[in-house]
Structures are given as C-alpha cells and as structure tokens.
Structure 1
Amino acid sequence: MADQGLRVRLRATDTADRTERHRRRVGRLLDDHPVRTPDGSPHPVWDFLFRYYSHKPALLMRWHPGYGVDIDTPTEHADYPHYVPTADGDAVTVDPAYLQTRSRTVGFVDGLLRATADRPPRLNCFGMHEWAMVYRAPSSDIRHGTPLRLSPADTDAAVEASDLRCTHFDAFRFFTEPAGPRNLMPLTRQTQVDSEQPGCVHAGMDLYKWAYKLSPLIGSDLVVDALEVAFGLRELDMRASPYDFASLGLAPIAVETPAGRAEYVRLQVTLTDHAALIRRRLIDSCAGLIDRQPPC
C-alpha cells in the first residue's frame, strides 16, 4: 500500500549532486579517521567504529534522502535494497513495506532515546569503564593490542581508588570479572532503557548505530552527523583510557588525577551537548516514521 503522507520528489540531477557531496564528505571523514594504519593493520582507535558498529564504509558512501522521498529515474537507488518503483513508474522510493517490517526497531529506538533524553547527564564516571575492562586482567587479555600507560599495578590501583559509575550495559559487559561488582549499579540488557543517560560517551556513540540501523528510512545526512559526533566521543574515550595512544597523536587525559578528571568533564560536556542535538533529531525522525507507518 502506498504511503499516504506528504511526499517530496527529487530530480535525478539533484540526487546526483547530493550523492556526490555526501561521498566527498564521507571520504574526508574516513581520510581523517582511517580504518587502517599505514602498515595495513586495523587502527586501534577508529577501526572500532566500523567493526563493533558493523556499518561498512561502502554502505556509508550511499546517500539516502529518507522515507517519503521519490527519486526520479535514472538513479542508482533503483538497485539499492528496500527501494521500489512509484505508482507512475518514473521514480523510486523507499518501500512502505520495509517501514512496516522495521516498526519494532523504530519503536524501540524512539523509546530508548526519549528515556535517555529525559534524564540529566551524569558527568562523574571520568571514563573509568575502559580501566575496568583491564582491571586485574592477565597481560595476554589486554584489549586493543596497545600498551598500558601505567603499570598493571598502578592501573589496578587507579580503579580501586575510584568509584565505577558506568550506566551503559554494552560497556559494562566487558568489565573483567573482579571489576563487575565494583560498579555502583548492576546493569543488564533488560534494564538498558532504565539506565541509559545522556552524559555517557557510549550512549552518544550509539546514536550512530541507531541512525544507520534506521537507514534508508532516515536521511544519510543525519547518519553522518551522528558519525562525526561518534568520532569525537571515541577520541575522548581512548584519550581517557589506560592505553597509550600518544604515538597515534592522541595525548592522554590522566583521569587518575584531579586535573585529568577536570579536563575529561570539560570535553565531555561539549560532546554531550552535540550528542543531545543528534538524539533530538533522531527522536523527531522516529516520530515521523511512526506517524507514517502504513496500516497492517
């Protein structure tokens, strides 16, 4: 059944122009945040955003205008998944049936992001979740293949001198076994909606995940805006981590010291504000999709 909402039509030339601008923007971002190091190995900082978040660069290069936009043919979008011809046959558009199949995902993302946005940001975790992931861990289990900035004993001591206040289950689940009980609150997948809060760097990075999971129902400009924020949050996360990334140009933030914690919070506030804007746009996009879901 055709979507009954207000529709927009793009000429093929407009689509080509927007696609080219999008590809140039993504290309610049990937050049600035390479997936691989010069020797061809996975970049220990940026590869995460394409490995843990499984949206491949080739898919990121595709520009989508979002649901309810008809694109005049000829256009490469005719060959993309989840596009169908319009009634007149002269254009293609995102399939209303695809929106129906993604209705549960749209509803979950909408609920999670609204619950997160309604809470005040907590700015007192100081990025210690990464430290909890190596707490009392054998050297063979150290993540990222990157040396620790402090000795293992001093790294463990920093954790023991801090309160672990993680609110994000997908970070908490990587805590070492002895670190888990040190967290101030137990976290489970079932309580994710109840615990997410907007000051969390991982909740901010996840906005990129939710954006691309809703593609092509939402426009690619929002997906890339979310990725830009995720890059900033990932940089903060790794600079505050126990790892030594100085050789990659990432100066450490010594969160085991008062000065380092103050620097972390200052940068966290700025990035939290940026993430809040993306979160609100995603909420608005979800609301629009919910309103336009075709009847069963």
Structure 2
Amino acid sequence: MPLPAPVAPAVVLHEDEWLPRAQAHAERAARFAEPFVARRNARKKHPVEDFLFTYYTHKPGQLGRWHPGAGVALAGDGAAERLGWKHYRALTDAEREAAGVRERTPAVVLDAEGYVAEREETVRFSRVILSGTAQRPAQFGCFGLHEWAMAYHSEKFGIRHEYLPLRLGAEGTDRVVEESRIRCTHFDAFRFYTPDAAPRNELQPTRETQRHLEQPGCLHANMDLYKWAYKLGAAVPGELLMDCFELAQRIREMDMQASPYDLSDWGYSPIRIETPAGKAEYVELQRGFASEAAVLRERLTTAIAPLASLLP
C-alpha cells in the first residue's frame, strides 16, 4: 500500500506577517501566566485563575509559545530557531521554489508526517472526542452539581479546596446533593466525587466510556477544548489555543460561582443553583458557553484535518 503524499504548506508567512502574531500571542498569554507565576512564587492561591495552570498540564511558558498550525510555513531569519523545536522541519527545495522563498532565507513548517507517526493516538482520540461530542444533543440539567458532589459528606472526607468555606455549610451542602438529581456525563468531574456521592450519580462514567458520553452542554467538556488544543501542540494555531484558553477561564469562573464554596472574599457573587432563579441563571450561561464552544470545536476539527488525512 503506497504511503500518503507529504502535506505541503498551503501558506507561507514572512516575518512581517508572523512575528507580530507571535508577539501578540505572547502578550495575550502573559496576561494570565505572569500573575499565576507571581502567586505561585509567593505561595498564594486563587480558586479561579489558577485552575487552568494547576489542573491541566500545559505550563505557563508553553502557553506563550505561538505556532502557525499545520500546513503553514514560516520564512525569515527568525524561523531558523524553530528547527530546534519539536515537530518542525525545513522546507524542501521543491516547496521553497513553489512558494517563492529565496534560496538563503530560512523557512520551516510543521513536520506533519513525523508528528502523526509519533502522536497518532493523540490525533485519533482527539478527533473521536471532538466529532462525537459535536454530534450529541446538549444537556442543560446538571446545574453544576458535580462540585457539590465533590464536597458531599465533607465532614467525613474533607473538601478539595480546603481554604474556601462552604456557602451553606457542610449540612446545607449535603442537603442540596440529597435533594437533587445528579447526572454528570464527564468522567474527569465524576472521578473527584466523594465515595458517598458517586453512587448518587445516575451515570457511572469511565475513561473507556468517555468517547460515548461527552456532550456539548457540559461545562467541563467545553473547558477541555483547551486541553485538546494544547495536546495537539504545534498542529494548532496559537490564536485558537488562546481562544480555547480564554473560554475555559470564563467557564471556570462560572463553575466556581455555582459551586458550594463562598467566593465573596475573592469578589465573586454566587449563582445559587439550589434555587429556581439560580438554576435558570446557570442554564442561560451554560447555553451561551455551549454555543461558543461549538464554534471552537469545529475550528479544532478543521485545524487537525491535514493530520487526520495522514493517519494509517
């Protein structure tokens, strides 16, 4: 069976085009990364703004590194540095000639073939999650109860955020859990439930069933667009990575406002999901985030299409 043809760059950007984009990306990332690093050095915590750096594995320095994405070549002296970056290669003579890049001008592009050979499973799984989630109907009846389930019977198990008080106290928090229907579809939220809360969830998500349960109304599935963006690394344009990051940051804020924790000292007013008005507010915000996430999910799927075409 013949091997697929290499993916030639569809676009070549010169330094006056791509250096400003790289600089803008670095500044955009620094708005979030620098305060986090300063807090970490001072051994301080923030229940909202730290989350994307502590729960996810992408480091602040990595966030500031801009990539053009698959199929886009960079030309100019500044591009030479990227030959030392993982998954980049120099343009071939034929590619340089076709793109009109001068003979001595450095020019690099994502090594799509090498990338897929090394990260085939990442590409496959991300495509399954992205496409599968997009095709399922959104559910808007969870009301953020996953955070409450993580604090259920806190006097027995403790709470994840030990420096935050419970808005309704331990007994009030337990009562909300016991009087609610809990149907979380997201494994990476469910796995943090307390042992007494887990049986109360109508579903029992696992890593193996994740590809079948993820749905586009879920706040955590939509936050995880950031995870898929950074896991796909140099294959994803930096602007898309930051769009996913910033959406995840806003979702985290809403997620914690709807949680059982009292964040008034941090300047956040609660979304009282234990009341009808709070439930309505939660669903309205959740629907808005789902709409934004649907656009980003499609953009991610499009971004990795050149890699998908190389899968064996």
Report the TM-score, using the length of structure 2 for normalisation.
0.88
Change (3 A) 1:11 1:148: same
Amino acid aligned to 2:282: Y
Deviation at residue 185 of structure 1 after TM alignment: 1.2
Q: Deviations over 1:164-223 (max 9, x none)?
A: 110000000110011011001111111111111111000000000000100101111111
**Paired position in structure 1 for 2:131:** 114
**Shift in CA distance, 164/94, structure 1 to aligned 2, threshold 3 Å:** same
Specify the code of the residue in structure 2 equivalent to 1:92. V
Which string of whole-angstrom CA distances, capped at 9 and with x for unpartnered residues, describes residues 33-88 of structure 1? 74665954132222111111111111111110011222124224233222222224
Question: In the alignment, does 2:21 pair up with 1:27?
Answer: no
* Residues 1:133 and 2:155 aligned together: no
Structure 2: distance between partners of 1:262 and 1:37: 35
- State whether structure 2 residue 99 is matched by structure 1 residue 87: no
Provide the C-alpha distance between the structure 2 equivalents of 1:254 and 1:194, rounded to a whole number of angstroms.
31
> Mean alpha-carbon deviation: is it higher for 158-167 or for 281-290?
281-290
Partner of 1:41, secondary structure, is coil
Task: After TM superposition, list the pairs within 5 Å mapping 1:221-260 onto structure 2.
Answer: 221-260=239-278
Aligned to 1:267: 285
Say whether residues 1:164 and 2:182 are aligned partners. yes
The range that moved more, 137-146 or 43-52, is 137-146
Distance in 1, matches of 2:150 and 2:157, equals 13
In 2, are the aligned partners of 1:84 and 1:94 still within 8 Å (CA)?
yes
**1:201-253 deviation line (CA, Å, top 9, x unaligned):** 00000000000100101111111110111011101110000011111111111
Counterpart of 1:216 in 2: which secondary structure?
helix
* Pair 128,266 (structure 1): closer, same or farther in 2 beyond 3 Å: same
> Conserved in 1, the CA contact under 8 Å of 2:166 and 2:260?
yes
Match of 1:211 in 2: 229
Give, as a single letter, the amino acid of the residue that structure 2 aligns with 1:58: G
Letter matched to residue 260 of structure 2: P
Alpha-carbon RMSD across the aligned residues, in angstroms, is 2.1
Contact conserved, 1:110 with 1:287, CA < 8 A, in 2? no
Which residue number corresponds to residue 183 of structure 1? 201
- Name the structure 1 match of 2:60: 57
**Structure 1 residue corresponding to 2:48, chosen from 15, 40, 45:** 45
Q: 1:123 offset after TM fit, Å?
A: 0.5
Instruction: Tell me the matched-pair count.
Output: 293
Paired-residue identity, %:
46
Secondary structure class of the residue paired with 2:234: coil
Residue in 1 aligned with 2:122?
Answer: 105
Q: Which structure has the greater CA radius of gyration? A: 2
Give the superposition deviation at 1:140.
Answer: 6.8
- Structure 1: state its 5+ residue gaps: none
SS at match of 2:250: helix
CA distance in 2, matches of 1:187, 1:77: 41
Residue type of the partner of 1:93?
V
